[in-house]
Structure 1
Amino acid sequence: MKIVIQRVSEASVTINHDKVAEIKNGLLVLLGIVEDDNQEDINYLVRKTANLRIFNDENGVMNKSLIDITGEVIVVSQFTLYAATKKGNRPSYIKAAKPDIAIPLYECFVQTLEKEIDNKVQTGQFGADMKVALVNDGPVTIIIDSKAKE
């Protein structure tokens, strides 16, 4: 499981001209899932997402977490995080989990994150053609792969 975390001052997701998610200060999380991901991967990434100290304190130092600032979150499924680009110019997505595996893991990630931060997590819609808009604050963008733990 892989996530791209972006610290945002605002973000939104629109599907068919309808805004389905919108936040101010918080995180936009893009989530990619592979077939062998499980609850351990979810727990690891949820803890990282909630506790990364990437928000500024009163001295302008990145020393506060999402929990500390009571920030908002949008989670968007993003199978393209597992694009294979070694051969040719057309990415292959064969590593990405199929919907029957990915959807339950995606939903579990969202539910686990909601419990961890004690806050509602907004989402896009799995498999939909989404328009994601954001103002990356910093910019701060962090990529975490649950299979590459230190």
Structure 2
Amino acid sequence: MKAVLTRVSSASVSVDDEIVGAIDCPDTGGILALVGVGAADSDDAWETMVRKVAELRILDGEQSVSDVNAPVLLVSQFTLHGRTAKGRRPSWSDAAPGEVAEPVIEKIAQGLRERGITVEQGRFGAMMKVTSVNEGPFTVLVEC
């Protein structure tokens, strides 16, 4: 499992010009989490991802999402598993198929919510437009 976590003051995701998820957090900051589920991920990788998103100290003042009750915008992003070493066309064979990845993304969202974190989401499998106001900019890559 791979994720790109970006500290944001606001972020939104829209499908067909309709906003389906948004966070606005100018005071605490929040996290835009682009998460890609891999075909070879362990069954419990989602739990590690929940912990990382909630507890990594990447917000202002070395705070975590859990520390300041910051919101998370969670967006499925299979393209994080694209291999580009050869040729000009990425290979997506390392990404989990949709029927495997979608329930994992939902487990991550539910796991964060069970920790009391506000979670907004994109729409799995849809063509989405993601906008964000990045803070810092501060972005980290996470692999579980």
Q: Under TM normalisation by the shorter chain, which class is it?
A: over 0.9
User: 1:70 corresponds to which letter in structure 2?
Assistant: N
CA contact 2:55–2:65 (8 Å) conserved in 1: yes
Corresponding residue for 1:84? 83
**2:42 is equivalent to residue 43 of structure 1:** no
Corresponding residue for 2:131? 133
**2:5 is equivalent to residue 5 of structure 1:** yes
**2:32 is equivalent to residue 28 of structure 1:** yes
Distance 2:67 2:74 in 1: 19
Corresponding residue for 1:99? 98
User: What is the CA-CA distance between 1:115 and the residue it aligns to?
Assistant: 1.1
Corresponding residue for 1:14? 14
Distance 1:98 1:83 in 2: 13
User: What is the CA-CA distance between 1:23 and the residue it aligns to?
Assistant: 0.5
Pair 13,97 (structure 1): closer, same or farther in 2 beyond 3 Å: same
User: What is the CA-CA distance between 1:81 and the residue it aligns to?
Assistant: 0.1
User: What is the CA-CA distance between 1:69 and the residue it aligns to?
Assistant: 1.4
User: 2:124 corresponds to which letter in structure 1?
Assistant: F
User: What is the CA-CA distance between 1:39 and the residue it aligns to?
Assistant: 4.1
Q: Which runs of 5+ in 1 are unaligned?
A: 58-62
User: 1:14 corresponds to which letter in structure 2?
Assistant: S
User: 2:33 corresponds to which letter in structure 1?
Assistant: V
User: What is the CA-CA distance between 1:101 and the residue it aligns to?
Assistant: 0.7
User: What is the CA-CA distance between 1:35 and the residue it aligns to?
Assistant: 2.0
Residue aligned with 1:108, SS: helix
Moved more, 8-17 or 103-112: 103-112
User: What is the CA-CA distance between 1:106 and the residue it aligns to?
Assistant: 1.1
User: What is the CA-CA distance between 1:120 and the residue it aligns to?
Assistant: 3.0
Paired-residue identity, %: 41
CA contact 2:40–2:94 (8 Å) conserved in 1: no
Distance 2:103 2:96 in 1: 11
Distance 1:71 1:47 in 2: 14
CA contact 1:38–1:105 (8 Å) conserved in 2: no
User: 1:22 corresponds to which letter in structure 2?
Assistant: A
User: What is the CA-CA distance between 1:80 and the residue it aligns to?
Assistant: 0.3
Q: TM-score, normalising length from structure 2?
A: 0.92
Residue aligned with 1:90, SS: coil
